[in-house]
Amino acid sequence: MYTDDFSDLSTGPTSLIGLMTSNAVSSLKPQGYSPQAIASAVAMCMGIMGMAIGFLNLGFLLEFISEPILAGFITAVALTIGLGQVSALLGEENVTASHAAGQIRQILRQLPQANGYACAVGFAGLLFLVLLEQSGKRWADQKTMLSRTIWFFSITRAFMCLLLFTGVSYAVNKHRGKHTLFDIVQLKYSGISAPEVPSATLIGKAFPGAIPAFIGGILEHVAIARAFGVKNNYVSDQTQEVTYFGVINFVNSFFHSMGVGGAMSRTSVNSMCKVKSPLSGLVTTAVILVCIFKLSGALYWIPKATLSAIIITAVAPLVRSPKEFYGFWKTSLADFISAMLAFWVCFFTTTYEGLAAAVGFNIVYVLLRQVFKPTTQVGSTDQQKLSELRQSTLSASGLPDALPDDVRIFRFHESFFFPNAYRLKTAILETIQTHHAPAYSTLHGAEAERNWSVHGERRVARLRKKAGIVDPSTLPPISIVVLDFTKVNHMDATAISHLHSLLKELRLYAGPDVEVRFVGVSKSIRERFERARFTLHDDPWLATDRDDTWTENVPRAYRNLSVAVQAPRRRSSAVLVEKDNEKMEHIEEV
């Protein structure tokens, strides 16, 4: 009931949760608690929060963290993790500051005392990891033995780097005793501790520090689940994912474990390896146990600089590009401010304060926007506003008495923004999946290979049963989806991101020929679309001279519902293929 939905989602320690946990360890260790006990207490708190939200079906609360806030938060955390590894990468020993400004100052002051051997090992490791990663991206798709070998080395690059430089470390340091050329981990295996219940007092003290760990971990977990669900054609249940996240952290806390969650790098490897079942975790577990009991002695010689290089390259993909933040600026000033609040406050103070500041700003902004929402006045001289008003009041006039079976209209009754964007997108997809058949055909490609996850199929079956649909084979396909934006007066970057996702998932389900038609898009919303690079084309039948470009399947804006429903349809890909074949035959005849 509470197992993870996904065959290839790999759950384990992540850089994000590791940083949050290390912050809690740093604050509570002076009180006499061991790092293991503090990490277990944080995991217990994460488990309690996850189970509470999951069992009470409160997964929607996560939607109050908008995409710009998440981008700023994760970028700040990734940079903080990377900054914390720079001192080990350079071989500097006295960087003790716990905040970013102090770390930067101490690192720069100690540059003359940097260890050259550590720098050589660290930067060589960075170069090794980057070269393998880029080689995998460039040549892994080719179907040759060499490309498969490159792909294998690419996905195991961290292990290969660790193996190579641990061997180098052992060779040059084994006879030096404590006077090694560069710092090594010196990790010694002391057995696996017996399970025990974390201290109730410690749990209470660790709870505030566990809040950002939970928020960061669960948002990363759910985001990865959604992304790979779309990629590999299966569906997640957000509440079930939160419940799973809570249960696994709660249980792990009894075994002296730190908090865990879905990890992008490991999940990517599972996806590339065509993993179809969570039972693959048994193989992973077996490998880990063998390493713990048989290879733990080798961990002693791992160079700290190599470990830092691995961590830096692991968190680098989490850093969002300046282009993305510039996109927030162009789309919405409020989105940009919330992203900057999350980034700068998280980076220079604490993640808890950064999240609180950004989420608080968003809530205040939404409330103030409702309080100071202006009215629209129309007078005898306002011809443009009068025309817009006439169009909005006549939007539904002229509709046929019965809609075609393959057409469905969705009318929005409120602004489309971060608190409701995911819910509305999900509602649209579920309605289409309930009342319309998927477009699996030889033209659109065979149905995807079956994964272990059947949650999506079961949910659709329940929805169809609730709707009184007895025979799904009689359901019509979906050809036209009309989105009525007449009452939408505000959108943000999160909503536009979900619109992109909606279009992608619609085409996966209904085929590449499904048309998405917009109605009632106001001038301000149209401008926001343009600033966010969401291209919305006009009704091609309004143009006086049309060419073949009108057949492109792109979102289009129509004057009203009647026109959107009854306007001629673009030619399907089948017709286009047939016409292309005719052209080729004509060329051959000539």
- The answer to whether residues 263 and 130 belong to one domain is yes
Read out DSSP for 124-137? HHHHHHHHHHHHHH
pLDDT of residue 454: 60
Strands (E), 8-140: 11-12
In a domain, 449, yes or no: yes
Q: Are residues 81 and 191 in the same domain?
A: yes
Task: Supply 515's token pair.
Answer: 């048309």
CA separation for the pair 338, 67 (Å, rounded): 10
Ramachandran class of 468: left when φ > 0, alpha when ψ lies in -120 to 50, beta otherwise: left
* Cα gap 335→325, rounded to integer Å: 9
Q: Which two tokens stand for residue 292?
A: 């713990």
Q: Report if residue 70 sits inside a domain.
A: yes
- In a domain, residue 226? The reply is yes
**pLDDT computed for residue 381 by the predictor:** 57
Bridge partners, 537 (sequence order)? 556
CB 185 within 8 A of CB 299: yes
> Does residue 90 sit in the same domain as residue 203?
yes
Tell me the one-letter amino acid at 76.
A
Regarding whether 449 and 306 lie in a shared domain, the answer is no
Q: Is 365 inside any structural domain?
A: no
How many angstroms from the chain centroid is the CA of residue 272? Answer: 17
List of residues 6+ apart from 135 with CB closer than 8 A: 150, 153, 154
The tally of domains found in the chain comes to 2
The reply to whether 174 and 312 lie within a common domain is yes
3-state secondary structure of 536: coil
The DSSP-derived string for 560-580 is: SHHHHHHSPPPPPHHHHHHHH
Q: Select from 321, 355, 371 the last residue of a domain.
A: 321
- Pair 314, 419 in one domain: no
Whether residue 292 is contained in a domain is answered as yes
CA–CA gap between residue 494 and residue 231 (Å, rounded):
20
Please state, in angstroms and as integers, the Cα–Cα distance from residue 61 to each residue in 65, 360, 419, following that order.
Answer: 8, 14, 8
Is residue 372 situated within a structural domain? no
Boundary (domain end) residue, out of 321, 341, 368: 321
- Indicate the SS3 state at residue 493: helix
Same domain, 473 and 576: yes
Select from 300, 321, 342 the last residue of a domain: 321
Strands (E), 389-494: 407-411, 480-484
Residue 422 CA to residue 430 CA, distance in Å, equals: 12
Buried b (16+ CB within 10 A) or exposed e, 163-174: eebbebbeebbe
**Could you write out the three-class secondary structure of 179-190?**
CCCCCECCCCCC
- Mapping DSSP to helix (H, G, I), strand (E, B) and coil, where does residue 273 land? coil
Segments in 520-572 forming alpha helices (H) = 523-531, 561-566
The owner of tokens 């011809």 is: 383
- Rounded to the nearest angstrom, the gap between the alpha carbon of residue 354 and the centroid of all alpha carbons in its chain is 20
At residue 398, the pLDDT reads 62
Structure tokens at 404: 């075609």
Amino acid of residue 92: E
- Pair (178, 256) in one structural domain: yes
Q: Please give the pLDDT value at position 167.
A: 92
Range of the domain at 570: 387-580
Q: In this structure, is residue 302 part of a structural domain?
A: yes
Q: Do both 402 and 298 map to the same domain?
A: no
Backbone phi, psi, residue 93, to 5°: -105, -20
Domain match, 427 and 525 both: yes
Q: Does residue 265 share a domain with residue 163?
A: yes
For residue 553, what is the domain's CATH number?
3.30.750.24
Indicate whether 61 and 145 sit together in one domain. yes
Contacts of 291-299 spanning 24+ positions with Cβ under 8 A: 292/189, 292/192, 296/187, 296/188, 296/189, 297/189, 298/166, 298/170, 299/185, 299/187, 299/189
What's the pTM value of the predicted model, to 2 decimals? 0.79
- Is 420 within a domain? yes
Q: What is the pLDDT along the chain (590 residues), one digit of tens a residue?
A: 444 555 557 788 887 888 788 888 988 988 989 998 999 999 999 999 999 999 998 888 888 888 899 899 889 988 988 898 999 999 988 888 878 888 899 999 999 889 999 999 999 999 999 999 898 888 767 778 888 888 888 888 888 999 999 999 999 998 888 888 999 888 776 667 788 888 899 999 999 889 888 988 888 888 777 767 666 666 667 788 899 999 999 999 998 889 998 876 677 667 666 676 667 778 878 888 887 777 777 788 899 999 999 989 888 888 899 999 999 999 999 999 999 999 999 899 888 788 889 999 999 998 888 887 666 665 555 566 556 655 555 555 667 777 888 999 999 988 999 889 988 998 999 999 999 998 764 333 344 454 555 666 778 888 888 889 888 888 999 999 999 998 898 999 999 999 998 998 899 888 888 999 999 898 889 999 999 989 888 877 665 545 455 556 788 998 888 888 888 887 554 444 444 444 333 323 32
Pair type for strands 261-262 and 480-484: unpaired
